[in-house]
Amino acid sequence: MANTKSAQKAARQTLRRTAVNKSRTSRARTAVRSMEEAIASGNQADAAAALRSTSSVLARSAQKGVLNKKTASRKISRLAARVKAMAN
C-alpha cells in the first residue's frame, strides 16, 4: 500500500485512469469488430457508414492516448481500403 499522501492520491488516479482507458479500448475494439461484420455482409453502403463511425472512434482513442496515433491511422487506412475494394 502507498505510504505517503501523494502516493495514495497517485494510486487513486491510476485506478480512475485505468477504468477510463479500459472503456475506451473496449469501445475501439467493438467498433472495429462491427466494421468487420459490415464488410463481411457485403453491403457497401453499410460498410461506408460503419467506416465513418469506426474511424471517428479510432481517431478519438488515439487523441486520448489509448492507441498510438500511427496505429489508429494504419487501422483506418486498411479498413478504408477494404471498403473501397468492395466497389469492384
Domain boundaries, the chain: 5-85
User: The domain 5-85 belongs to what CATH superfamily?
Assistant: Ribosomal protein S20 (1.20.58.110)
Tell me what pLDDT residue 2 has: 81
- pTM metric for this prediction: 0.85
- Give per-10-residue mean pLDDT for the chain (88 aa): 92 96 97 95 93 97 96 97 90
Give the whole-angstrom CA distance, residue 40 versus residue 44: 10
